[in-house]
């Protein structure tokens, strides 16, 4: 796959050799004002990085978890007989970090299969194979994004104004991005007129990260609060909405950043297409519908405060579901590296695999 039009932004990188090297993670909590790379040595540190949102975005979480498994195995010097127990512990540690993004569990399952295949190999060989797998997951995700970006861009003929939500770019993936990957491809093909970037309350992934990626890439973007989307749609200034996803159920229901469902309803009202861009690794055919997807509940302080500053009075109740589920009937099409599928998703999604 060509790298020619890919951005250079990555959420993590390996530094040094496998025996003593470290995982470097770009601390996304400090962007856009500071580019600070954390240095991680262990599975425990990787788990903390995912839980604390140093790294976030469904595919990036999966990639980090795979490196966490490799780092965990590298540190293991026990007997072969206790290895299965240690692998289980590492799996559970990493799986407990965030519940909604299925890529986390998908990547850990790939690592489990590697360990199963190498059951009789020594610890060093298994560690090496887990590093190989983590690198493959990383590289494949980037390649898949480039593919799906081109499939997505082909849906648009002329000058296009896109609205997007949360951060689905290079920072959230192995590189390039899903929804932001389609936007990058449109930009590269000269078809993109403008991007509306939802700030994405309360964690501000749009304002802090998508806006930063657009500026880095020279993409003409305007930051809006989530509540302004309807206004610009009514003015006829949005041609399509493209979002990413943390998990798509078998019936096509889409879990994504809180506020996504609201956009899909607005699109229906304004007769605007609502697209979801995703690698196949985020499609979970084992989950029947969105009702079965666990929605992460995050710290209320992320809603009541902006940074350190308290915005709400003590004593008020605060809710913070980090994701919502958009019903399949509001989704115009799902864009993947294997092509674009349309409703009914119960029929079209399985054809992708
Ligand atoms: C390619 S990223 C798709 C989704 O993971 C993204 O839209 C999103 O909701 C990220 O949520 P986050 O809570 O920042 O991890």
Strands 247-249 and 192-198, by their bridges, are: unpaired
The edge-to-edge listing of strands for the beta sheet with 247-249 is: 283-284, 247-249, 254-257, 323-326
Give the sign of the dihedral formed by CA 57, CA 62, CA 66, CA 68: positive
* Pair (133, 167) in one structural domain: no
For residue 7, the model assigns a pLDDT of: 65
Which ligand 1 atom is nearest residue 243's CA? 7
Q: Are residues 89 and 165 in the same domain?
A: no
Same domain, 47 and 84: yes
For residue 117, what pLDDT is reported? 98
Residue 183 lies in a domain: yes
Does residue 166 share a domain with residue 114? Answer: no
- Ligand 1 pocket check for 178: Cβ under 6 Å: yes
pLDDT over 60 at 5, yes or no = no
User: How far is residue 316's CA from residue 310's CA, in Å, rounded to a whole number?
Assistant: 12
Residues 242 and 287 in one domain: yes
Q: Is the full-model pTM beyond 0.90?
A: yes
Distance 59 CA to ligand 1 centre (A): 8
Active site residue 27: no
CA angle 201, 240, 189 (to 5 degrees): 110
Assigned domain for 4 exists? no
**Stretch 308-336: mean pLDDT:** 97
Output the CA 63–ligand 1 centroid distance in Å: 14
Domain membership flag for residue 319: yes
Residue 184 among known ligand-binding residues: no
Q: Which of 91, 124, 145 is the last residue of a domain?
A: 145
Is 20 inside any structural domain?
yes
CATH at 90: 1.20.120.420
* High-pLDDT (> 90) share of the chain, %: 96
Average confidence (pLDDT) over 36-49: 98
| For the CA of 178, the nearest atom of ligand 1 | 1
On whether both 180 and 288 belong to a single domain, the answer is yes
Distance CA 22, CA 339 (A): 36
Is residue 130 domain-shared with residue 162, that is, in the same domain? no
Cβ of 326 less than 6 Å from ligand 1: no
Q: Does one domain contain both 97 and 187?
A: no
Segment 150-164, tens digit of pLDDT: 999 999 998 999 999
Please determine, for residue 263, whether its predicted confidence score (pLDDT) is greater than 90. yes
Pocket test for ligand 1, best of 98, 168, 281 (most atoms within 8 A of CB): 168
Q: Is 141 in the pocket of ligand 1 (CB under 6 A)?
A: no
Count: domains in the chain: 2
Residue at 5 is within a domain: no
> How confident is the model over 242-266, as a mean pLDDT?
98
pLDDT tens for each residue of 117-163: 999 999 999 999 999 999 999 999 999 999 999 999 999 998 999 99
Q: Check whether residue 90 and residue 161 sit in a common domain.
A: no
- 126 belongs to a structural domain: yes
Give per-residue pLDDT as tens, 50-86: 999 999 999 999 999 999 999 999 999 999 999 999 9
Within a domain: residue 119? Answer: yes
- The band of 8, judged by pLDDT with boundaries at 50, 70 and 90, is confident
**pLDDT number for residue 290:** 98
* Predicted pLDDT of residue 267: 98
* CATH number, residue 230: 3.40.50.10470
Question: How high is the pLDDT of residue 158?
Answer: 84
Last residue of a domain, one of 128, 145, 162: 145
Kindly report the backbone phi and psi dihedral angles of residue 13, in degrees, each rounded to the nearest multiple of 5, phi listed first: -155, 155
CA of 172 to the centre of ligand 1 (A): 7
Residues 215-229 have a mean pLDDT of: 97
177-200 pLDDT per residue, tens:
999 999 999 999 999 999 999 999
Share of the chain above pLDDT 70, in %: 98
Query: Do residues 346 and 262 share a domain?
Result: yes
Domain boundary among 121, 145, 169: 145
Specify if 133 maps to a domain: yes
Check whether residue 66 and residue 167 sit in a common domain: no
Which tokens go with 106? 């998908």
- ipTM of the complex, rounded to two decimals: 0.99
Domain span at 224: 152-352
Asked whether residue 136 falls in the same domain as residue 161, the answer is no
């Amino acid at each position: 796959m060509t790298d020619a039009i890919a951005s250079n932004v990555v959420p993590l990188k390996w530094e040094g050799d496998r025996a003593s090297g470290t995982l470097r993670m770009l601390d996304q909590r400090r962007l856009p004002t500071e580019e600070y790379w954390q240095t991680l040595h262990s599975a425990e540190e990787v788990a903390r990085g995912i839980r604390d949102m140093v790294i976030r975005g469904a595919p990036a979480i999966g990639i980090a978890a795979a490196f966490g498994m490799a780092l965990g195995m590298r540190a293991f010097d026990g007997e072969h007989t206790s290895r299965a127990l240690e692998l289980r512990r590492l799996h559970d540690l990493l799986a407990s970090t965030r519940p909604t993004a299925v890529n986390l569990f998908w990547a850990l399952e790939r690592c489990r299969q590697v360990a199963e295949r190498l059951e009789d190999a020594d610890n060093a060989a298994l560690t090496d194979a887990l590093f190989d797998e983590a690198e493959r997951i990383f590289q494949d995700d980037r390649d898949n994004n480039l593919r799906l970006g081109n499939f997505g861009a082909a849906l648009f003929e002329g000058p296009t104004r896109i609205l997007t939500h949360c951060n689905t770019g290079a920072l959230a993936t192995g590189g390039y991005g899903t929804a932001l990957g389609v936007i990058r491809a449109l930009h590269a093909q000269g078809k993109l007129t403008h991007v509306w970037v939802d700030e994405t309350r309360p964690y501000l992934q749009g304002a802090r990260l998508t806006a930063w990626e657009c500026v880095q890439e020279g993409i003409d973007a305007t930051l809006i609060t989530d509540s302004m989307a309807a206004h610009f749609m009514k003015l006829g200034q949005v041609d399509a909405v493209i979002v990413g996803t943390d998990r798509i159920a078998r019936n096509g229901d889409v879990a994504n950043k809180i506020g996504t469902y609201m956009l899909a309803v607005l699109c229906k009202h304004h007769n605007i297409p609502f697209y979801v861009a995703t690698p196949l690794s985020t499609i979970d055919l084992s989950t029947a519908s969105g009702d079965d997807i666990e929605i992460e509940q995050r710290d209320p302080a992320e809603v009541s405060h902006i940074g350190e500053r308290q915005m709400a009075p003590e004593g008020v109740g605060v809710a913070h579901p980090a994701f919502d589920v958009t019903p399949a009937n509001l989704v115009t099409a799902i864009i993947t590296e294997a092509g674009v599928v349309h409703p009914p998703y119960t029929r079209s999604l399985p054809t992708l695999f």
